[in-house]
Amino acid sequence: MSWGWESEQPGPSTLVDYHEWQGTRDIAPFLAVPAAVRFMDQHDWPQVRHRCHGLVRHARGAITDLTGLPPITPDAPDWFSQMAAFPLPPCDAEALQRRLYGEFRVEIPIISWHAITL
């Protein structure tokens, strides 16, 4: 959503209201692209991506074993690379987020979608 959510002056299109203003137009990310590309070139990013995919596969397997819930995507780089979503059993999402950050400094979003906790 954008600034048009709960607009004080709604227009004829809710879609336009919700998405027309996307916040401040900060050009810094555009200016940083050349440096980001150089960084990736200097650090063999395909190899970094491959290594990170292996770590995510390992974590995904451990979480699947722990929860007994099947993965939500096939085990292939076409479906996930350096991040992945996992189904979780019903839980106190806020408590889990606090614990993971407090004990391990792991920051994760946990959402419920169509009665599934991810």
Q: Taking 70 as the threshold, does the pLDDT of residue 1 lie above it? A: no
- pTM of the model as a whole: 0.66
Q: What is the pLDDT of residues 76-109, one digit of tens each?
A: 888 998 899 889 998 888 899 999 999 999 998 8
Longest dimension (CA), the chain: 51
The single residue listed with the structure tokens 């007994």 is: 68
Q: What is the pLDDT of residues 20-43, one digit of tens each?
A: 776 667 788 889 999 999 999 999
User: Alpha-carbon distance 69 to 72, whole Å?
Assistant: 9
Per-residue pLDDT, 90: 87
The proportion of the chain whose per-residue pLDDT surpasses 70, expressed as a percent, equals: 92
Element (H, E) at 117: strand 116-117
> Distance (Å, rounded) from C-alpha 18 to C-alpha 5?
5
